[in-house]
Amino acid sequence: MPDATDRAAEAYAKAYQSAIDDVISRYPALARLSSGQAAELLRSIDFEDLIRTNYGMDKALEGLAISFAREVIVSPPPPVTPSGATLEAMLNFEVDAANTQITQTAAEIKKIIMRSIVGRQSEAEFAAALKSETLRPDQINSYVNQNLRSFHRTVELQMAEANPDQLYIWAGPLDDRTSPECVDMIAQGALSQSEWQASYGAYLSSGTHYGCRHTLQMYVQTEQLSTAERAREELGEV
């Protein structure tokens, strides 16, 4: 079942798809112009502003920022947490990466339009070129989702390292998408940071695979162990 991170990444990918579809629909009008007229018109169009405002990428980016911020909210908070300045810097790096992607996409679209007009390509040929030379929506979704979850794991790992006396679980869904490695880690229940590091250190920051939906989480109540019990049942340990 999609969680908040999945929904934020999906909204961003949909906004991106909207931008691509709209650009394709406007190509025939541009293609009727001469190369000189098209070049002059394209120079006057701020594609980045169009993508951000008209196609909703800025709104989607705001949604990403909110989702990033939610990942650092821990209730109840551990005794020691990364400083606000550290978290803000980490958050800004992630949002800046998405911002840079919008800027690069806008420049790439303008370049492909001009090249297609000069080459007198049809709308279908232009659409094929645009889709082959820019990221697909599913790639955008995957990229954003991975960044969101990597950010979450990094923050949680920092908190665990700053609070070695607390216990932690490997938190996340247990379903048909859960990798065998994550099932094994979920089944461990509540361990100290040093115990996690000793047995699963390679996974604590990067996850067990690309797109991993799991992270360390401070153990604060017995209800958190219900998933561990189910994982042990799956492994035949109960």
Task: Find the angle CA(169)-CA(171)-CA(173) to the nearest 5 degrees.
Answer: 145
Give 158-161's long-range contacts (Cβ < 8 A, gap of 24+): 158/82, 158/86, 159/74, 159/78, 159/80, 159/81, 159/82, 159/218, 160/193, 160/196, 160/204, 160/216, 160/218, 161/193
pLDDT value for 89: 67
pLDDT value for 59: 74
pLDDT value for 61: 66
pLDDT value for 102: 78
Beta-carbon count within 10 A of 31 CB: 16
Its pTM stands at 0.70
Residue ranges of the chain whose pLDDT lies below 50: none
pLDDT value for 238: 60
Decide: 179 and 208 in contact? Cβ < 8 Å.
yes
**Residue range 174-196, pLDDT digits in tens:** 999 999 999 999 999 999 999 99
pLDDT value for 13: 86
pLDDT value for 152: 81
Contacts (Cβ under 8 Å, ≥6 apart) of 144: 8, 9, 12, 13, 64, 98
pLDDT value for 53: 78
Q: How far apart, in whole angstroms, are the C-alpha atoms of residue 14 and residue 118?
A: 30
